[in-house]
Every structure is written in structure tokens, then in C-alpha cells.
Amino acid sequence: MDKILITDNLTVSFDGFRALNQLNFTMNTGELRVVIGPNGAGKTTFLDVITGKVQPTTGKVLFQGRNLRGIPEQEIARLGIGRKFQTPRVYLGLTVRENLDLVCNRFKNVFSTLFRTPSFTDRRMVMGLLETVGLGGKRDLKAALLSHGEKQRLEIGMLVAQSPDLLLVDEPVAGLTDEETENVGALLLALAESHSILVIEHDMEFVRQIARQVTVLHQGTVLCEGTMDEIQGDRRVIEVYLGESEATLATGNNQS
């Protein structure tokens, strides 16, 4: 099977501390993969190194067979890797539709979106995306008026509008209500029909909703991989997550 992403003995050191440590990871084209792990496991660093925000100290990242070493962030995005950050980055003063127009638009800037009539194809794509993200009824509302979950869905739509080959999604349900969490999960499952998606997540319940194949990261390396049932029955996973909840109880710190 076709591999969209491979990491080969990937290590990222910050002043000698290994945030990623000889990480070997493989993902198939068309797969929806969830990477979980306790705080500090290296999840965000993993996305940073795939997108070119940080460089591998040793080892490599292969995207569609191509070594990404030394390729600037913008260029990696153009090669087909799109990233959705943890906090939504939408234009609050623009409507939902205008936000989507903006990314579908060939002249990706605010002024051309506001002052140029979008082409028929652009318009059809935006309408399709509005349906997909479930915001058709709110298309003329300013993004500032959306709930946090709706903003997350809008931003996922904006990511999809760029037609990346690989979608990277960092903790999409942090801070969402149960209902919003389910909506985001349903959206990711729908997108997985036609996209390769890598989701980084901390919330186990959410992972159960969407996950097929799960990779558990711990201390910068793969602890185990399998279905959610296999993962949850694994002693090592239970230990690292228990260790974390004890630490959380002890410090009262619940930051992710």
C-alpha cells in the first residue's frame, strides 16, 4: 500500500532534550490516524517537524516518498500538507462564506475576496464546503458570532478548501461541549472518506468516536499501536495515562 507519511528514526532535540526520540511512524494514503499521548509526549513537536516548523536533529520525514529536510514551511504547505492549529484562526470580522471564499480564491487575500465576484467554480466549491462543515444556515453570519465548535468546523473547511493531500489536525475538540465534539468527530469521519488525515488528540472519548488505528506516543517515541480496544487494554498505556492523572491531581495543573 501507498505510504503518505513515513518517519525514519526521527529525533528532535531541544538543548539535548529529546522531544522526539528515534520515532518510526508510517501512515497509508487515505488513512485516518489518531496519535494520542500524555502531555509532553511530543505530539505537537511531531506536527511541527512534519510541517517544517522545526527541523529533525537526526532521522527524516518522508512525505509521499520525498525527504522534507531543509524544505521551508511555506513550500511544504504547497507540496500538500495542511495544518489545522489548536485554536481557530478564522477572520472574525468576515462572514462564514467570506472566510471560505478567501481560501478558495485564487488571489488569496482579503481585498480580492471582498471586491471581486467569485467564479462559478469557486462559488460551487464554497457551497459544497458549507454543507460539509454543517454551516450552510450560518453562511452570512460573521465568524465572530459562531460558537467555538462552529469556528473549529469552519477552520477545518478552510483547510479542506486548500485541497491538501494530508490534513494535520491538532486537538480539534479541546474545550468543546459534548455536542460540538460529536459534530467535529462526524465531520472528520466524513472527510476521511476522501482524505488522508492525521489527528493529534488527548481526549480519549473523542478518540473512541473517530479512531480506527491509534498510535500512542510516549517520551517522543511510539509506545504502541492498534485499535482503540487494543490500546485501552494495554498495560503500558494504562500506566502512562494513570501516571499523568496522578501528576495532574498532585499539581492541580490540567493544561494540555
**Helix count and strand count (H, E) for the chain:** 10, 10
Give least dist CB 65 to Mg ion, A: 28
> Rule CB under 6 A: is residue 44 a binding residue for ligand ADP?
yes
Please identify, using beta-carbon distances, which residue of 43 and 151 lies nearer to ligand ADP. 43
Single-letter code of the amino acid located at 38:
P
Please identify, using beta-carbon distances, which residue of 55 and 119 lies nearer to ligand ADP. 55
Residue pair 161/129 in contact by the 8 Å Cβ criterion: yes
Angle between helix 178-192 and helix 148-161 axes, rounded to 10 deg: 10
> Rule CB under 6 A: is residue 245 a binding residue for ligand ADP?
no
Q: From ligand ADP, Mg ion, none, which one binds at residue 45 (CB under 5 to 8 Å depending on kind)?
A: ligand ADP
Give least dist CB 61 to ligand ADP, A: 15
Q: In what order do the strands lie in the sheet with 17-28?
A: 17-28, 3-14, 58-63, 66-67
Give least dist CB 42 to ligand ADP, A: 4
| Window of 43-51, 80-88, 89-97, 233-241 that interacts with ligand ADP by CB under 6 A | 43-51
Name the grid cell of 200.
493529534
> Rule CB under 5 A: is residue 44 a binding residue for Mg ion?
yes
Give the SS3 label for residue 71: coil
